[in-house]
Every structure is written in structure tokens, then in C-alpha cells.
Structure 1
Amino acid sequence: MPTPAILLISLSPIDRDSRVLRQLSVVKEFGHVTTVGYGPAPQDSDEHIEVPPDLKTLPQSITGVARLAARRLRSAELAAPAVQWVLKALRGRRFDAVVANEARILALADAVAHGSPIWADMHEWAPEERTHIASWRLLVAPLMDHLCRTYLPRCQEVTAVGGKIAALYDGRYGIRTTVMRNSARWQDLAPTAVIEDRVRLVHSGAAVAGRNLELMIDTVMALPERFTLDLYLVPGNDNGAYLRTLRSRAEGSDRVRFHPPVAPAELPATLNAYDLGVFWIEPFNTNARLTLPNKFFDYVQGRLGIAIGPSVEMEPIVREHDLGPVARGFSRADCVASLHAITAEDLRRWKAATDGASRELSFDTDAEVARRIMRNLLAENA
């Protein structure tokens, strides 16, 4: 039997995209994988087609914006420069299955699949991805809704990062969405020793304006001297402007430290040196309200306690496994109150709890979801 040819598209720098790298690690088990995305070839790719970095994933030219403004959505489906480039790069190619990441490439996936089955990994809730930005809300959100409404019913498999977001897709588009979490691979680590009268906080992720990372800095500055905060931040698409504002905000404090970002595979081992992974994100849009992010699972594999606010998807897991403190709200006062009285014994208990839950909350579980999906896709095309 010939080896199945599988196409995996993600218009992101795949070699730095944690979710797509984990997805790819399973997809490679089922055939010869051609990846399409920005940046160098990721590990586990048999062939990589590198999209030029200057090509945009949305129709942002004058003509493209005019199409969006006039709601000529059908004509805008394939209008983005990166999408046009990929269409040409894949001309004449045929694949047995297509894995498409995120809504903006659904029409592209449909076009290059030529009738082969598609797995659409939607990640988060696409229709409200960046609705806190007015131009995105007015111009791009209708396109995302149109792409989902038109193409998701044509996909054999659809996945999302959490149960609440999966239910949104099911309810609006009349499909069946499977949950595949942003869980990290299981790491053979143990909780590190707690230092008496010190609480070592850490946060890892992207420095993206709107996520209110200032709150972490302000909270630590308001806490006693025994609290420190270490930040492993990837600069956003603003050439690092937001990251520079965070550095300025913490200037003069020796309790807030900035470090270079760490590769996804190395992150749990780096985080292991700390006590509590911190992520307080206000529910400023649907995705923020329902977030269940990579960093949550990285903290688990790093064997840290986890400090969060009352986030819809994270709070039940934290409470079920007793992983750490949950603030009553997202104000600085709420965050300070949730940490102020922490003891060394609290830290030991939480770190032991994440150790105990590390298998259940690892990619071992979600990899099986991906394997079932791939088996279904290839059986469909057999």
C-alpha cells in the first residue's frame, strides 16, 4: 500500500508554534507530511514549503479591504497574499488528507484538498479572535464567520482547544467539534524544593498588548519582598514595542526579571525552577474568557502551582486537582489578596498536586484524540 501523502498548513512560524508542533508529531505517524507555513522546516516534516515572511494572511491591500468593507466575502476568501502564494506553490499537487490550522485558511484547504478529507483545527473561537480591535471587528470578523459557516460543514473533523469553545462552533455552525487541548508533552520532572519565605512566580508566553501583562508586574510590586516574578516573553508582532513598555514599568525593581524566550520543548524544564506559574487574563473577549492556553499545561509539566483568576475553563481544573490559588477577580487587589498569605506548605502541596496530575493533563491524552482523527481521515479516503 502506498504511503499516504498528508498536507499540513499553518500560516504561522510552525517551528515555534507549540500546538502545531504537537499536532505534527502525531500526523507524521500516518504518512509523508508536507508542511506549509512561515519560517524554517519544523521537526517531523518530510517536506516543507516556506511561505515568504512579508506575505500577509488577510486581504489587507486597498482592493482587499474594499472587498471586506463591501461584504464581498466570497471574493475575499482566497484574496490574502499568503493564500494566493500557497495556491500557486501547491498547483498540481494531490494529497490524501489535509490538516488546516485556523479559520483564515479554510477556503485554501478546501481548494487544495480536491475532495480529500480535511481536519480543521480551529484552535480558538475564530469569529471573535481580535474583536477588541475595532478594524478587525468591523472588517475581518464577518470574513471569519463566513469562512466557518461555508467550509466547516465540509470538513470531516473539527477540533478546538476547550469544551466551551467547541460548543460555540457546534451551536453556530451545526457541526460536531472535538476537544483537543493545548496540553504539553509529559515531562519526567519532579517538583523542586521550596525555599522558605520566598515565592518564585513565573510567566511565559507572548508579549501581546491587550493581555494586561502589566497586572502581573503591578501585583508583584504590591506584594512583600519575598515575592519575585520572572518573565519569559516572546516579542509580539509590534517589533517588541509592548515588551519595552513592560520593561519600563518594572524598571528599578530587582524583583521582576526579564529573560529571553525559551523553545517550547525546553520550557517545562526551565519553569521547573519556580514555584507558581501566573496567568491572570481579564475576559475582554470570548477567547480570553474561555482561554485554556499552552502555558497552563507548560506550568503543569514544570510541576508548578498555578495562580489564576476566575477563568471559565481553567478554574475547574485548578480546583479539581488543587493546583493553586484562584483570585476572586482580575483587579490588582484581587490578585494580591490571592497570593499575600501563601505559605511554604501551600507551595509544596500545589506542586505535589501538579506532579500527581501531570499524566492526566499531558499530551498523552490529547495525542490519542489526534490519532483517532487521522485514522478517520485516511479511512475516509481509502
Structure 2
Amino acid sequence: MKSVLIISFSVIHSDPRVMRQVRLLENVHRVTVAGYGRAPDANIEFIALNKPPTGLLQKGIWAGKLLLRAFESYYWRLPQVRHAQHRLAQRSFDLIIANDISALPLALELAGNCPVLMDAHEYSPKEFDDKLLWRLLFGPYHHDLCRRYLPRAAAMTTVCQGIADEYEREYRVQCKVIHNAPLDQKRSPSTVDAECIRLVHHGSAIRSRHLGVMIDMMKYLDARFTLDFMLVETDAAYMAELRAAAQADSRIRFIEPVAMQDICQRLNEFDVGIYLLPPVNFNHEHALPNKFFEFIQARLAVAIGPSPEMATLLRQYQCGVVAESFDPQALATVIQKLDAAAVSGFKQASNIAAQELNYERSGQLLLAEIERLG
């Protein structure tokens, strides 16, 4: 049994990918988790990290450091990094898992002689490269962190092949793919009402995801189709805008989100999981998100735009439809052709796919990497 430290500058109990690491390892190794929020309900030691609010003066100082390319000074003086150093400095572990580039320099400093496994949830250097300020300040900073620290990690994993290829091309590191798939939910497809085909989208109300395109899509669908949004209100102003945009269409509802572990059970009541994500930046272009696998684990048909990572798996398992473009009408065109028999067929295909696209399988890749690292 190894002592394993998992570091993530995220709210641990609501971070699906980190929680899968926790669930995979909690009864196999002695696990310590450092991150934000309350302790998750798990067999681990939890170290809560602080991220105090930042005033305008401090933001100005940090922006100056980023503009001057003082990246090392910027990173090591971040309060959450300093707090983590203080809490963990005297500890020793057999393995450290660093989630995202923001945790990797710290993990390497704490590691001593133990190996560090880096898990990249995104392609960090281009995470928000559709925004000018981000390109000026944080893009070069993340690139510098990747250039300096990725080659020092003993192993690296990420969420999809397109992102793995880009890390390998740009930083000459080997990167294995572990999908964001939940455990096999062992559910059965629900029946489809030919007169009411229920579409659903779930996730966070994040402006950069352009969720309004799915509201626009409903204009082109007939009365058989309804759309439910199950959104976490991370941006109250944006959520209000979405509600206002949907107000004129009684077929669109906003339903209460459920706990992470209950998502697939709730989704199982619906028929088609939809996601139309315009490729406004690199990570959106290569998106293969939790929700795609949750649609499949809920045994839904899936309807998406031509996002290459999602489309490749959808076509492999033949569990839904792919629009020709990211235009709302293009997605409506392929959904409009669906009837109850087609949706039922896609649900059965998802039922088969769910037996392969799950964390029982993906997690074995992480376990194998941990065993390989000694």
C-alpha cells in the first residue's frame, strides 16, 4: 500500500475527474487530498487549501508580473500555492498526482525523490485563447510552466487524444488518455414516447460555452420535442440571460441540478442528451467532456455538433447523431429526423457503449501507471 497525495486547485467534492481518482485509490492506497472546499465523503485524509479574495491592487501587481514574464515569481507567491507549501512541506509520500499545470510545480517541489504523475484536465496553454487578455497574460504563463515542468513529471495523462497529441507535439512528453467516463451506472434505457421526445443538457452555466445556441435550435424543431436544462448556476447573470432567451418557448424548462453522483440517474428519465459547443478555442474544439459520457451512462441517445473527439466515439458506437456544422439549425436538422424507433435504437447502442466507456476500464489505465511508477 502506497501513500499517495492528490493535489488539485479545485473544489474537490464537485470535481468529477479528481473524485474519480479518489474513488479509485481510496481503498487501495493511503490517500491524502489537498484542494478547496469541504472534505469529500471518502476514506482519505483531506487538507483544505485557502484561496483568499484578491483586491484590485494585488491583481494589478500580478498582471504586471505576467506582462514582465516574471512567471516563477508570480507562481510561487500565489497565496494558494504558499498555503499548500506550508501545509504539506513536512510530509513525504510515495507518489503525487498533480491535477493540471497549476499543481505541477508545487507537486515537484514537494516530491523529493518520489514520482509525480501529471493529469491534465485541459490543454492549459490555450485554455481560453479566444480571450485577448488571457492570451496576453495567462497563455504565455501556462506555456512557460508546461515548458519548464512537464518534462520533469514521471508520467502524464489527459482527457482525449487531440489534447494528448498537442502536448506531445509542443513539449515532447508522452501522454496517455484516460477518458472522463463515470463508473458503469448499470441502468436500462427508458422508454420513448413518440409524441414527446425529451432533450436534455446538463452542466454549468458558463458563458464561454454559448449555451444559448441550443435555445436557438428549438425554433427549428416541431412540437414533439422538449428541452430541459439542468444547470449549476456558476454565473447568475448568464443564467438569467438564458432564462430570458427561453421564456417565449414553453417547451424549454430549467430544472434543479442534482448531486454529482445522481446525475446519470436523473438523466435516465430523458431521451436525447444534446451538446452544441462552438469551437471558439482549442479546448472547445477538442472537447470530450464528462457530460458526453454521462449521457451514455444514462443510456440516452446523443446529439452533438461536429466536435471531433465526441463525434469519433459517437460514430464508433453509433449511439446518436452529429450535425454537419455548429449552426443551431444544423443540429435541429438531424434531430428533427428522429422518431421514437430511432431514439430507442440509439439508446440501446448507448447501453452497449456504456459497458466499455466507463471508469472501471479507464481507471485501470491510471492504476497501471501508478504500479509502473513503483
TM range (shorter): over 0.9
Do the aligned residues in 2 keep the contact of 1:158 with 1:177 (CA within 8 Å)? Answer: yes
Distance in 2 (CA, whole Å) between partners of 1:243 and 1:31 is: 41
Distance in 1 (CA, whole Å) between partners of 2:132 and 2:258 is: 32
For 1:1-382, list aligned pairs within 5 A.
Answer: 3-54=1-52, 61-236=59-234, 238=235, 240-377=236-373, 379=374
- CA deviation digits over 1:145-178, x for unaligned, max 9? 1111111111111011001110111111111100
Do the aligned residues in 1 keep the contact of 2:230 with 2:254 (CA within 8 Å)? Answer: yes
- CA deviation digits over 1:39-93, x for unaligned, max 9? 111133521111235357xx96332221111011222232222111111111211
Distance in 2 (CA, whole Å) between partners of 1:278 and 1:54 is: 37
The Cα of 1:29 is off from its aligned counterpart by 3.9
Q: What secondary structure sits across from 2:364 in the alignment?
A: helix
Distance in 2 (CA, whole Å) between partners of 1:203 and 1:180 is: 23
Amino acid at match of 2:264: P
- CA deviation digits over 1:275-330, x for unaligned, max 9? 10001111111110111000000000100000001111111111121111111101
CA distance change for structure 1 residues 29 and 169 in 2, over 3 Å: closer, same or farther?
A: farther
Do the aligned residues in 2 keep the contact of 1:39 with 1:53 (CA within 8 Å)? Answer: no
Q: What secondary structure sits across from 2:320 in the alignment?
A: coil
Paired residues, number: 372
The Cα of 1:222 is off from its aligned counterpart by 3.0
- CA deviation digits over 1:235-272, x for unaligned, max 9? 22x4x221111111111432111112222211111000
Distance in 1 (CA, whole Å) between partners of 2:372 and 2:39 is: 27
Do the aligned residues in 2 keep the contact of 1:77 with 1:147 (CA within 8 Å)? Answer: no
CA RMSD of aligned residues (A): 1.5
Distance in 2 (CA, whole Å) between partners of 1:45 and 1:107 is: 27
TM-score (norm 2): 0.96
Amino acid at match of 1:104: S
Amino acid at match of 2:3: A
Distance in 1 (CA, whole Å) between partners of 2:2 and 2:254 is: 45
Distance in 1 (CA, whole Å) between partners of 2:112 and 2:255 is: 46
Amino acid at match of 2:341: E
Q: What secondary structure sits across from 1:210 in the alignment?
A: helix
The Cα of 1:191 is off from its aligned counterpart by 0.4
Structure 2's unaligned 5+ residue stretches are none
Distance in 2 (CA, whole Å) between partners of 1:305 and 1:43 is: 32
Percent identity reads 35
Distance in 2 (CA, whole Å) between partners of 1:223 and 1:339 is: 8
Amino acid at match of 2:162: K
Distance in 1 (CA, whole Å) between partners of 2:297 and 2:351 is: 8
The Cα of 1:344 is off from its aligned counterpart by 0.8
Distance in 1 (CA, whole Å) between partners of 2:126 and 2:105 is: 18
Amino acid at match of 2:311: E
Amino acid at match of 1:167: D
Distance in 2 (CA, whole Å) between partners of 1:18 and 1:349 is: 29
Q: What secondary structure sits across from 1:100 in the alignment?
A: strand
Structure 1's unaligned 5+ residue stretches are none
The Cα of 1:7 is off from its aligned counterpart by 0.9
Do the aligned residues in 2 keep the contact of 1:180 with 1:366 (CA within 8 Å)? Answer: yes
- CA deviation digits over 1:4-34, x for unaligned, max 9? 3211111111101111111111222442111
CA distance change for structure 1 residues 53 and 76 in 2, over 3 Å: closer, same or farther?
A: closer
TM-score (norm 1): 0.94
